[in-house]
Structure 1
Amino acid sequence: MFLRRVPRTARLQWHLARCINQASLACGPPIASSRQPLPEPSTHAPFPSTRCFHASTTLRAVKPVLLADIGEGIVECEIIQWFVEPGARVEEFSKLCEVQSDKASVEITSRFEGVVKRLYYEAGEMARVGKPFVDIDILGHVSQEDLQKLTPIPSPTQTPAHESTADSASEAAPVDPRRPVTEAPQKPVVLGSATDGAVETPGPVSASPKPKGRHAALATPAVRHLCKELKIDILEIDGTGRDGRVLKEDIQKFIKAKGNGAAAQPTQSGASADAARPPPPSSTGAQLETRQPLTKMQEGMFKSMTRSLSIPHFLYADEVDFADLSTLRSRLNKVLATPPSSPVQSVRNTEGVSKLSFLPFIVKAVSIALQQYPILNARVDVSSDPAGKPQLVYRTQHNIGVAMDTPSGLLVPVVKDVGAHSILTIAAELARLQGLAVAGKLGPQDLSGGTITVSNIGSIGGTYCSPVIVEGQLAILGIGRVRELPDVTQQSDGEWKIKGMRKVCNFSWSADHRVVDGATMARAAGVVRALIEEPDVMIMNLR
């Protein structure tokens, strides 16, 4: 009666100790499995056989890999493509998948060595940060035979997984007394359908549509965005790029081939042809609307700009003369264009920059102005104080974000610690960030940590702009296009005379009016204007 009230584990341990102490004498019944009822102990029946216990169990544990935080407060991201599938062997730092956040695409690597057991998301689904997205069976001291058992291949006669998995596992696996019997045996993973456990019977190879869901075709975010706009399934396109990557030319060929196929297909009747043909545009017809969900980039911009517009802005515009800077830039570009055998190349920085634009000089001028007006490099914090009082957090490094127009949308990569850079190294860093932005390969480290932003809208067009402050910053500079205007001066006799042409550019500043007043912004903008109009002063302030 006592044995029926104690836990099953204690009863097994008690029987094990009794068997060891009375191995040469009569003993209790053999140890039962966790699924069989344990009979009453007997002191008269001899111990029929001894059980062989393994010295150690196979080191096998399924580890769920959590989606790490990729910065900038991102809580979810889209699974673009998987590089693995269930049953695949992976090494440490092997690529698992590519995810697309609000700002960039990132490749996630494995932290473990083992065999992939489960993928939590399909390609195209949204994955939550901090939640498991793949299970990996870690390999310990596993033999080749055990390795094959980790991912068994189902046979045609295998019963569905939800009916036979539990019974087969309990019958085949011996019970180790040292292992708690309350631990459920690990269920084998059956490759095939993830919903009903059905398994395909091997047969002749036939043409079938490409599998969808597990693997998205390799393509850049710009190409994938184009497919979404054209409402084309990227899995239906045969990529001709490297490793089967889908290119824009492949999309154009696919559309052309699809159009020719639709034109060649005969219609069943005139009525069906008229129904399939879109209605002709009419000026007197009703207004038509087409709904389309936002892309990931647009969703990120929607959220960030909604938060940014809660900041009270004020605009300050200034006019800057680029004549002297244009002359200095022309001289420096001649130096950069000199052949390698020239003596001047011995003092040239080996950054691989072949030509300078105005932007590196402007970024450096903003950094020098921040040394005199550090409040523009600060941020407002209202969360750390228990009473909810706002505080200014000053930052020592000048991490200047530069807004860039890319095929995927607006991105703001950051040039870190501009105060420690020269004009040439700033130009090299801008070129690197621009190349990654166009290719859609900007990482979280390239997009985070900005303290102030510069937006060069003049490279596209426009003279004035009203830029919106990025959340977590206090100021932003918008640069218009450089225009040539007549330089008119008044002579001693009172007459006006045109001396020549001058290059003029408009700077538009926006600042957080909660902590930055107009006078401070005007003085800081005056420093930037003076450094641009007299670049020799900027050279004296270089570190």
Structure 2
Amino acid sequence: MCLGLVNNKRTKCNSIFIKSRSSSLSTKLKLPTNPYLKKFNPTYYVRDLHTSYPNNAVVPFLLADIGEGITECEVVQWFIQPGDNISEFDKICEVQSDKASVEITSRYTGVIKKLHYNVGEMAKVGNPIVDIETDSSNELESSLINSEVSPPSPSAQVQSINITEPLISGEKTHTLATPAVRRVAPAGKEAQPSKEIVEDKLVPLSFIQKSMFKTMSRSLKIPHFGYSDEYILDDIIASRNLINDYITRNNQFSFNKISFMPIFIKSFSVALKKFPILNACVIDDDDANTAKLKFRRSHNIGIAMDTPGGLVVPNIKNVQAKSIFEIASDIRRLQEAREKNAIPPNDFQEGTITLSNIGNIGGTSLSPVIVSSEVCIAAIGKLQKVPRFEDVKDEVTGQLVEKVVGKHVIPVSFSADHRVIDGATVARFSQEWKNLLENPILLSAELR
């Protein structure tokens, strides 16, 4: 059987005209009327019916606007296949832009009829991504209101009369996004081959790699000034051990122990108070005559995190007002979200300075790249116990003698925007931070 939409001029109502291909039997069913339909221009909604009772409808599910000005997304994975049953709010697919990864969920209950894209293909916002056969005429009306319906194919057998009142328009309508889980887009392992390369091949950049390409290209327009030093952490190690002993004796914390990172971040913020220019950003930097420095009161310190999909850099907000325990709690929350690849987008916004710690992976000599919205970045390398000379009091003579002792040392590297930051400023900041870490009593004295 075949179905077409017609308009009854006399009654001013919309109808469905049904004619059997195998007989002359025909009938009309009234469509649910809706004031929103009056603004549309004529078109058709055509489909084959499974039975003589027109209850089922194939609804094209459109890729809704996920925000951030995104016009297309890459299909990362499908959670369903043709023939699968699906319920409202079930996951359909995961799509990824250069800003976020999103799980698209269903607005309908029914059966999956068609997937419009394969994994890895680019899906356009506003276009169908999947067809769902629903079992309710309400779904049909909803689809007509919220979707742009494709015109019938030339082979469709439709019996209809002239439509004098507009029913459906080519005017674009806005579909509200269905419930989705906004997730952080990992920093780009998509184009990396997972198996051994047996022949040369060209692979286009993924969305994330394109984003990295643009971001790093902007960053490398900044003249970088580099500075490196070593910090001795023996005293801070002893202090951290005391803190962790305290944590194990109390049940008020959501974590069993802290790493060095909360201490690094808090001491970094304390030192930053004396060098606010390192927390600033350059505005209108195309011309020195119009360029300005924006000094920012919040210390939103970005931390680089390795995820299953690549490197991401969320930030901890208002570090200057938080305790070491509060910072540790924030890091734990981000780590838990990282394991699910689900760090909220808000955690990536409004960063003011970055502190990258790759010591758990390795490396001693680092050259971090400045984010274009910041003027400074610091990177911490691997903690090592190394021999160092030290003046030690001789137990027999009581005199100071030089001896070789083992010290726990971390390498620290800085990059700063040399257009507005001079080398002396970075060196003085490093000495301030170093003094706090090598003398924890001074750090505790600075805490509020």
Letter in 1 for 2:165: V
The equivalent position to 2:275 in structure 1, one of 360, 369, 373, is 373
* Contact persistence 2:227–2:426 (CA under 8 A): yes
Bigger RCO (CA 8 Å, 6+ sep): 2
Letter in 1 for 2:195: L
Match of 1:382 in 2: 284
Name structure 1 gaps, 5 residues minimum.
1-8, 17-29, 34-51, 152-159, 187-219, 233-277, 279-287, 339-344
Match of 2:182 in 1: none
Instruction: State, as a whole percentage, how many aligned pairs show the same letter.
Output: 38
Q: Matches of 1:289 and 1:123 in 2, distance apart?
A: 22
1:366/1:76 CA distance change after superposition, 3 Å: farther
Match of 2:97 in 1: 101
Q: Matches of 1:532 and 1:86 in 2, distance apart?
A: 59
Root-mean-square deviation (CA), in Å?
4.7
* Contact persistence 1:465–1:508 (CA under 8 A): yes
Match of 1:132 in 2: 126
1:181 paired to 2:83: no
Q: Matches of 1:527 and 1:374 in 2, distance apart?
A: 13
Q: Matches of 1:55 and 1:304 in 2, distance apart?
A: 52
* Contact persistence 1:377–1:398 (CA under 8 A): yes
Higher-strand-fraction structure: 2
* Contact persistence 1:120–1:132 (CA under 8 A): no
Match of 1:434 in 2: 335
Number of residue pairs matched by the alignment: 377
Q: Matches of 1:144 and 1:475 in 2, distance apart?
A: 58
Q: Secondary structure at the match of 2:241?
A: helix
Letter in 1 for 2:75: I
Letter in 1 for 2:260: F
Match of 1:352 in 2: 254
Q: Secondary structure at the match of 1:398?
A: coil
The equivalent position to 1:167 in structure 2, one of 158, 172, 177, is 158
Deviations 1:489-520 (A, max 9, x none): 27799984227432222211110111112222
Match of 2:18 in 1: none
Q: Secondary structure at the match of 1:69?
A: coil
Name structure 2 gaps, 5 residues minimum.
1-6, 15-27, 38-59, 144-150, 171-184
Q: Secondary structure at the match of 1:466?
A: coil
Letter in 2 for 1:98: E
Q: Matches of 2:391 and 2:205 in 1, distance apart?
A: 53
Deviations 1:436-494 (A, max 9, x none): 32432233223332211111122222222111111211110011222223342277999
Q: Matches of 1:497 and 1:514 in 2, distance apart?
A: 43
1:477/1:305 CA distance change after superposition, 3 Å: same
Q: Matches of 1:541 and 1:312 in 2, distance apart?
A: 33
Match of 1:362 in 2: 264
1:505 paired to 2:407: no
Match of 2:66 in 1: 68
* Higher deviation after alignment, 509-518 or 299-308: 299-308
Higher-helix-fraction structure: 1
Q: Matches of 1:289 and 1:479 in 2, distance apart?
A: 37
Deviation at 1:328, TM superposition (A): 0.3
Match of 1:333 in 2: 244
The equivalent position to 1:516 in structure 2, one of 399, 421, 428, is 421
* Contact persistence 1:382–1:390 (CA under 8 A): yes
Q: Secondary structure at the match of 2:367?
A: coil
Letter in 1 for 2:154: E
Q: Secondary structure at the match of 2:153?
A: helix
Map 1:152-163 → 2, pairs under 5 A: 162-163=153-154
Q: Matches of 1:390 and 1:378 in 2, distance apart?
A: 13
Deviation at 1:117, TM superposition (A): 11
Q: Secondary structure at the match of 2:33?
A: coil
1:107/1:289 CA distance change after superposition, 3 Å: closer
1:433/1:496 CA distance change after superposition, 3 Å: same
The equivalent position to 2:299 in structure 1, one of 367, 392, 398, is 398
* Contact persistence 1:119–1:133 (CA under 8 A): no
Larger Rg: 1
Q: Matches of 1:324 and 1:148 in 2, distance apart?
A: 70
Q: Matches of 2:140 and 2:64 in 1, distance apart?
A: 26
Match of 1:421 in 2: 322
1:450/1:76 CA distance change after superposition, 3 Å: farther
1:474 paired to 2:379: no
Match of 1:537 in 2: 442
TM-score when normalising by structure 2: 0.68
* Contact persistence 1:477–1:509 (CA under 8 A): yes
TM-score when normalising by structure 1: 0.57
Deviation at 1:415, TM superposition (A): 1.6
Deviation at 1:522, TM superposition (A): 1.9
